[in-house]
Amino acid sequence: MSNIKCIIIEDEPLAVKVLSDYVSQVPFLELQGAFKDAILATDHLREQPVDLIFLDIHLPKLKGMAFLKTLVSPPAIIVTTAYHQYAVEGFTLNVTDYLLKPFDFERFLVAVNKVKAAQREKQSGKDSLEKDYLFLNVQKKKVKIVFSDIVYIESQREYTKIVTTKNTYLPKMSTHEVEELLPAKLFKRIHRSFIVSLNKIESYSAEEVEVNGVFIPIGRGYKDTFGDM
């Protein structure tokens, strides 16, 4: 699979450095440049289309959301900002993820893995919703798990607990590995240790989500990405 070509649109030098450092640690990311405003980035995109843009909201000349609306066929967008109030607008514009500054490398990796999963899906020419199940190795055998049965997924160190309406499974893999196999439209990570099925949500607040009678905390770094519900 080819690398994901990306650019950074950010006017704060420290934020550019942090993002550049994070990008350099991810083997499948290829940074093509960093731009202090959207106008300069637009000139670059005319000549060299990219797969991913890390986009700040408060930019000189042209604000991030205004710039995003000018793109006819936008690549994947990961919004990076210190202002949480733009989360809902960001998701209505189909951004891949919304990173609230300051964010750590693990949260960054969750976001770019979503882009990687979408790229894999596009290149394979398959819609993830056409396949409504997955097979996982559980206790030396392949177990079929139907997406619609999954309630939530929880990290258990080197294992991942998958709670379904019928059973609980403990495959030896990380939640990040499981997340890459799930259709993003049906599941959302709300905590570094938890992924929930959107269809199983009964209620939610700023602090927790209720799925099938179980209350699961929303992590600090995920509160704003959950604002599009």
Task: Give the residue extent of every domain in the chain.
Answer: 4-124, 128-228
Is 175 within 8 Å of 195 (Cβ atoms)?
A: yes
Bridge partner list, 214: 211
Say yes or no to pLDDT of 191 above 50.
yes
Is 187 within 8 Å of 164 (Cβ atoms)?
A: no
pLDDT at 176: 87
**CATH number for the segment(s) 128-228:** 2.40.50.1020
* Residue 172 CA, distance from chain mean position: 22
pLDDT per residue as tens digits for the range 137-150: 998 899 999 999 99
Say yes or no to pLDDT of 224 above 90.
no
pLDDT per residue as tens digits for the range 7-57: 999 999 999 999 999 999 999 999 999 999 999 998 888 888 899 999 998
pLDDT at 130: 60
Token duo for residue 87: 């989360």
Is 79 within 8 Å of 67 (Cβ atoms)?
A: no
Neighbours of 146 (CB within 10 A): 12
- Top-ranked range on mean pLDDT: pick from 72-86, 94-108, 212-226: 94-108
Token duo for residue 3: 């690398």
In whole angstroms, give the CA distance from residue 110 to residue 104.
10
Burial 152-177 (b: 16+ CB within 10 A, else e): bbbbeeebbbbbbeeeebebebebbe
Mean pLDDT across the chain: 86
Sign for the CA dihedral angle at 94, 194, 137, 112 comes to positive
Is 107 within 8 Å of 99 (Cβ atoms)?
A: yes
Which bin fits 33, alpha (ψ -120 to 50), beta or left (φ > 0)? Answer: left
**CATH number for the segment(s) 4-124:** 3.40.50.2300
pLDDT per residue as tens digits for the range 113-170: 999 988 877 765 554 446 789 899 998 899 999 999 999 999 998 899 999 999 999 9
Tell me the whole-structure pTM to 2 decimals: 0.56
In whole angstroms, give the CA distance from residue 70 to residue 22.
27
